[in-house]
Amino acid sequence: MIVVGGSTSRDLAKDIASIIGCKYIEAATVRFPDGECYTRIEEETLDDDVAIVQNTYPDENLVEMFLIQDAVRRAGAKSVTLVIPYFGYARQDRVFKNGEPESAKVMCELLSRVCDYVITVDIHKEAVLEAFKRPYKDVKAANAMGDYFKDKDIDMVFSPDIGAAGRAKMVGERMGVPYDHLEKKRLSGTEVVIQPAKSDVKGKSVLIVDDMISTGGTIMTATTQLKAAGARKVTVACTHGVYVNNALERLKASDIDDLLSCNTLMSETSRISVAGMIADAIKERC
């Protein structure tokens, strides 16, 4: 097995290779003056099973993934596993209004050109991966989160909406603490309304878990509700810290006491590693 790190995920790729105990190669990616991507695998041959670790977000990184896929196949890879820690376009998983594309399906079809197996992490809708028409595994970061927070003074775990209730359950069960979900209604891309918690949180240290933080609207509103209900401390953990439109600055200035994310997207909050879980998923396959 050889693990190839694309420019979005070099540290994660190195960690995965080190856990598996296999060779790590960096895709030497640079940008031409006009912004186009150039990449090169600086090895004579890759006569082995290859796993490429690279996010497909934002769009320029998707192009890099296409080019790395072609390069590794040409260099002789016996099989190609795509490890996509953060899969862009997963939220447009169906046509919501007439005239829209089915974006997630388009991306899977394009990425399946050079690919034998796909590994994602907490993709927004797992069903999207069917479009690869290849075997796949969506790694659930909940266990890594649960292990991280086991000894961190957390009394209860919440999800900000019913959609993420399963994640709160997995994290809570892993930690051996109670869990619940809040009720969220989305008004627009940036506005949400969240109902007061039904569980008693007075004086408690609570953890809110979600798959991603984008604008931060969901998590900040959830935190406000829990603090208003008397929570002593609110810690937030997401798998993917996307943080658009200065969200990180706004989150740091909010009522949130501690903010963490996994290392699928790198930022100052990426303190929970999913490298071990991805390494296990690769080993299971090979």
By the criterion CB under 6 A, which residues form the site for ligand R5P?
A: 160, 163-164, 210-218
CA distance linking residue 87 with residue 112, whole number of Å:
13
Query: Minimal distance in Å, beta carbon 226 to ligand R5P?
Result: 15
Query: Minimal distance in Å, beta carbon 213 to ligand R5P?
Result: 5
The smaller minimum CB distance to ligand R5P, of residues 7 and 215, is found at 215
CA distance linking residue 239 with residue 209, whole number of Å:
8
Query: Minimal distance in Å, beta carbon 218 to ligand R5P?
Result: 3
CA distance linking residue 135 with residue 117, whole number of Å:
5
Query: Minimal distance in Å, beta carbon 86 to ligand R5P?
Result: 12
Which pair of structure tokens corresponds to residue 219? Answer: 């998590």
Query: Minimal distance in Å, beta carbon 57 to ligand R5P?
Result: 13
The smaller minimum CB distance to ligand R5P, of residues 218 and 254, is found at 218
CA torsion, points 150, 156, 162, 166, in degrees to nearest 10? Answer: 30
The smaller minimum CB distance to ligand R5P, of residues 191 and 200, is found at 191
Active site residues per annotation? 184
The smaller minimum CB distance to ligand R5P, of residues 58 and 203, is found at 58
Helix axes 142-149, 165-175, angle to 10 degrees: 40
The smaller minimum CB distance to ligand R5P, of residues 76 and 163, is found at 163
With CA atoms as reference, report the closest residue to 49 among 65, 28, 72.
72
β-strands 37-38, 30-31: how paired?
A: antiparallel
Angle at 13 between CA 52 and CA 78, to 5 degrees: 30
Angle at 188 between CA 184 and CA 192, to 5 degrees: 25
CA neighbours closer than 13 Å in the CB half-sphere of residue 274: 31
The smaller minimum CB distance to ligand R5P, of residues 215 and 254, is found at 215
Query: Minimal distance in Å, beta carbon 108 to ligand R5P?
Result: 20
Q: Yes or no: say if 144 and 277 are a contact pair by the CB < 8 Å rule.
A: yes
Angle at 266 between CA 264 and CA 268, to 5 degrees: 130
CA distance linking residue 126 with residue 282, whole number of Å:
18
Q: Other C-beta atoms within 10 Å of 202: how many?
A: 8
